[in-house]
Amino acid sequence: MPAQHQVPGFSQRLGRVKVAATVAMTVRARALREAGHHVIMMTIGEPDFPTPPHAIEAAHAAALAGETKYPPQDGTRRLKEAVQRKFLRDKGLEFGLDQIMVGNGGKQVIFDAFMATVDEGDEVIVPAPYWGAYPLMTRLLGATPVAVNCYQNNGFKPRPEDIEAAITPRTKWLVLNLPNNPTGAACTADELRAIAAVLARHPHVWVMSDDMYEHLSYGDAPVSTMAAAAPELAERVLTISGVSKTYAMTGWRIGFGAGPRDLIRAMVNMQGQATAGVSSVGQAAAAAALDGPQELVAERAALYRRRRDIVVDALNAIPGISCHRPEGAFYVFPNIAGCLGRSTAGGRTIGSDQDFAEALLEEQHVGVVGGAAFGMSPYLRLSYATDEASLVEGCRRIGEFVSRLS
């Protein structure tokens, strides 16, 4: 008899993670668009602005100059020096070149940090709502993500006492993403110092400050970062940023981290086992963006603020929806509790925020993401990183969808 057909197996770690909800909803929305439907995409956090021309020209010039060989694993000197200047200019932070590394987007920098420090059985504190990558990466490494709820009545900001209650001997990291994805929440220096006072009592905990949205800030008080607010914690704070959101360079895949030398060295080692260095022409473009004219940063932030107000005002005018006005980033996180337990015009029962998101896409062709994917329900995440006409039409369709609930 012929041998039974068999296929090789997969790792156990594969079963610990699933496709991110933002990706899944974006794929479904794009499929509807490709089928000929007019879909309003509010699922993904990607600026609709072009990359600055001088950054593109720098990449072109680098390629023509022969900068197409393997780059250093930790980043080119030109980009690392530009990152040095950026941190000093923006936050008053001084880092040596050996305290800075460049990754394939901020996401790889986060992954490198976790790979270098997290063991099975460790815990990573992640304030919720959160970007789903933090708990997914934590689980992939066999560790446990510990959510600390940040409620709307506190502006979705983490409270020091809640963080302290979550710390155990197994805690390896506290992750702070401010301004936050998905809520847009941001903390002042005083609020960060209150959290730092807690961390001072727990010296075994690393602090990750993911500042990818640092320049998209709309409040009166300036957005701070932990390394600047609490310099006494400098030897265990990793500060992460990049060019994706600020300069509309998501596809260039350039992020960077700065922190203690030993941690950066370990992270570079981890990156060396995975992807090694980062695109040399991409690094040339990023250096030009960081060192070039900065007027567009404030100009685009002002446009995002206008878009935020359009969306928040429109959503708050819809019965059953309540939307907090965020301080930064380009997301809103409206509460849809008033829509639960009702039926759509298409006959679907809305039992959760995921039900709402799926029905909205199918019946009104508006793509959003359910709050459960970010660790808090019943909410939705909407990205307003798109043109105003689409935002107005998307909110109109959401209002029509809700008005038809019975």
Looking at residue 7, what is its pLDDT? 79
Q: What pLDDT band is residue 3 in, cutting at 50, 70 and 90?
A: low
pLDDT confidence bin for 2, thresholds 50/70/90: low
What is the pLDDT of the chain when averaged over all its residues?
Answer: 95
* Residue-by-residue DSSP string for 344-381: -TTS-EE-SHHHHHHHHHHHH-EE-EEGGGGT-TTBEE
Q: pTM for the whole thing?
A: 0.95
Q: Are residues 238 and 373 in the same domain?
A: no
The neighbour count for residue 221, using CB atoms within 10 Å, is 13
Q: Which two tokens mark 15?
A: 């079963």
CB 218 within 8 A of CB 327: yes
Identify the pLDDT of residue 403: 97
Q: Is the pLDDT of residue 220 over 90?
A: no
Q: Which of 243, 262, 291 is the last residue in one of the domains?
A: 291
Reply yes or no on whether the pLDDT at 243 is more than 90: yes
Q: What 8-state DSSP symbol labels residue 263?
A: H
Segment (H or E) for 21: helix 21-34
Domain count, the chain: 2
Domain annotation covers residue 6? no
| Residue 3 covered by a domain | no
Q: Is position 7 within any domain?
A: no
Higher model confidence: residue 219 or residue 72?
Answer: 72
Give mean pLDDT, residues 215-234.
91
Percent of the chain at pLDDT > 70 equals: 99
Which pLDDT score is estimated for 1?
52
Q: What is the pLDDT of residue 228?
A: 98
CATH number at residue 347: 3.90.1150.10
Last residue of a domain, one of 230, 257, 291: 291
Domain finish residue from 291, 321, 344 = 291
Same structural domain, 314 and 202: no
Determine how β-strand 255-258 pairs with β-strand 331-332.
unpaired
5 lies in a domain? no
**Partners of 241 in beta bridges:** 256
280 assigned to some structural domain? yes
User: Which region among 36-50, 189-203, 251-265 has the lowest average model confidence (pLDDT)?
Assistant: 36-50
**In sequence order, what DSSP letters do the residues of 32-77 get, joined into one string?**
HHHTT---EE-SS----SPPPHHHHHHHHHHHHTT--SPPPTT--H
Statement to judge: residues 238 and 272 lie in one domain: yes
Is residue 349 scored above 90 in pLDDT?
yes
Residues 342 and 373 in one domain: yes
Q: What kind and span of H or E run contains 398?
A: helix 388-403
Q: Are residues 281 and 247 in the same domain?
A: yes
From CA 59, how far away is CA 38, in angstroms rounded?
Answer: 35
Give me the pLDDT at residue 369, please.
96
Instruction: For CA atoms 210, 215, 220, 224, give the dihedral sign.
Output: positive
* DSSP state, residue 163: H
